[in-house]
Structure 1
Amino acid sequence: MALLIFDMDGTILDSGTAIVNTINHVREALGFEKLEKHYALEKVNDPNINASKFFYGTDDFTLQQKELFEEHYNANCLNGLELYDGMAKLIDDLNQEFTLTVATNANSVFAKKMLDHLEVGKYFETILGFDSVKQAKPHPEMVYKILDTHNIQKEKAQLIGDSHKDIMAANNAGIDSVLVNWGFSNHEEDAISSIEELEKKIFEKFKA
């Protein structure tokens, strides 16, 4: 059975409000001004920046920053959370023919909590977060770990995400990928804009 690896935030579900509110909660605690939502989400997905430096002014995430973020996000990550239109049906349809997994740069505990809340967690056989690997996306470690877990060859796998970090992770691991344009970034090229296009891309690859 072929394997699909979904990014979560900005791909399966819209968690943008909770993410930005939590980033701004940490920023305010550190004495920084709040960031505008769309701008902050674009930067979350930007593979070319040092996220800790950009958001909080430190070379690496500190223990204080991590604790502030995780405490606030754990309490608020379900607020305003919703699946993108058509995603529930797509997942249900794909579940019949594919092994479904998630590779997210979120914490895997929060990821499972969010997916279960939206009643789709049961469809994903593996849910990997940044805490499950040494290096998050765009590094390919997460992809490799999922391929190994399910004993799937690269040719029988495809990654779906809304960020260039996702596509880079897929490329670095040598698997096919699809970039979607309904998430946190506004891609000018090489991205699809509808669930129908995504379903077509998936079946084009695996039914050829």
Structure 2
Amino acid sequence: MFDMDGTLIDSGYAITNTINYVRENLGFERLEKNFILEKVNDPNINAAEFFYGTKEFTQKQTKLFEEYYNKHCLTDLVVYDGIAKLVDDLKSDNFTLAVATNANSDYAHKMLNHVGLGEYFSTILGYNSVKNPKPHPEMVNKILDTHSIKKEKAQLIGDSHKDIMAATNAGVDSVLVNWGFSNHEENAIETVEELEKRIFDKFK
């Protein structure tokens, strides 16, 4: 199971430009890209409160976000070096591949298809396909149930502590990667080669 943003694809520009578009429409100033991306992945903050000053996302915020993101989510999308070959190798080796993302699943399909990765994943689950997004384990459990896979036979790969917490909460092994939106001081791997080794160490 892969997280999408910051793990498979670098969608940093689309995310930060969208958040800044919403902020500007609400009368807030723009924030710097790296700062936004770091906070988006922080499990200890309430994103609605942090970015827009409300306890929960309002209808207006959601509408502004989706309106902009829908138009611009394919702009500046880049697949991280080595990821396309990795998923191709895994698929050829009969792995069941899935995506667990806190993005909207419609956008996730659209974005992954746009960069040529969509066909590799049997399931692409977004926050709108579950009641509780990551770090809650619901998304992970739903993917395991869909494919009748035991948790011992699964692994979740992501660039955020929300991913690791979701996996841990589901009793699933996880790998934290450091090429995404967070800059982890420890317990994270730096390259796709290391990731491939971690995957094959577990499953072979």
Structure 2 length-normalised TM: 0.99
Secondary structure at the aligned position of 2:144 is classed as: helix
Q: What's the offset of the Cα at 1:194?
A: 0.2
Separation of aligned partners in 1, 2:92 and 2:147: 17
Secondary structure at the aligned position of 2:145 is classed as: helix
Separation of aligned partners in 1, 2:62 and 2:90: 35
**Could you report, residue by residue, the CA deviation over 1:167-203 in whole angstroms, capped at 9, with x for unpaired residues?**
0000000000000000000000000000000000000
Which residue matches 1:29? 25
Which residue matches 1:206? 203
Q: What's the offset of the Cα at 1:65?
A: 0.3
Separation of aligned partners in 1, 2:84 and 2:143: 22
Which residue matches 1:8? 4
Structure 1 length-normalised TM: 0.97
Separation of aligned partners in 2, 1:162 and 1:171: 14
Which residue matches 1:50? 46
Q: 2:37 aligns with which of 41, 44, 52?
A: 41
Matches for 1:45-194 after TM superposition, within 5 Å: 45-97=41-93, 98-194=95-191
Separation of aligned partners in 1, 2:137 and 2:23: 30
Separation of aligned partners in 2, 1:58 and 1:206: 44
Gapped regions of structure 2 (runs ≥ 5)? none
**Could you report, residue by residue, the CA deviation over 1:136-173 in whole angstroms, capped at 9, with x for unpaired residues?**
00000000000000000000000000000000000000
Separation of aligned partners in 2, 1:143 and 1:90: 21
Gapped regions of structure 1 (runs ≥ 5)? none
Secondary structure at the aligned position of 1:102 is classed as: strand
Write out the 4+ residue segments of structure 1 that deviate beyond 4 Å after TM superposition. none
**Could you report, residue by residue, the CA deviation over 1:74-113 in whole angstroms, capped at 9, with x for unpaired residues?**
1000100010011111110011220000000000000000
Q: What's the offset of the Cα at 1:67?
A: 0.5
Secondary structure at the aligned position of 1:99 is classed as: coil
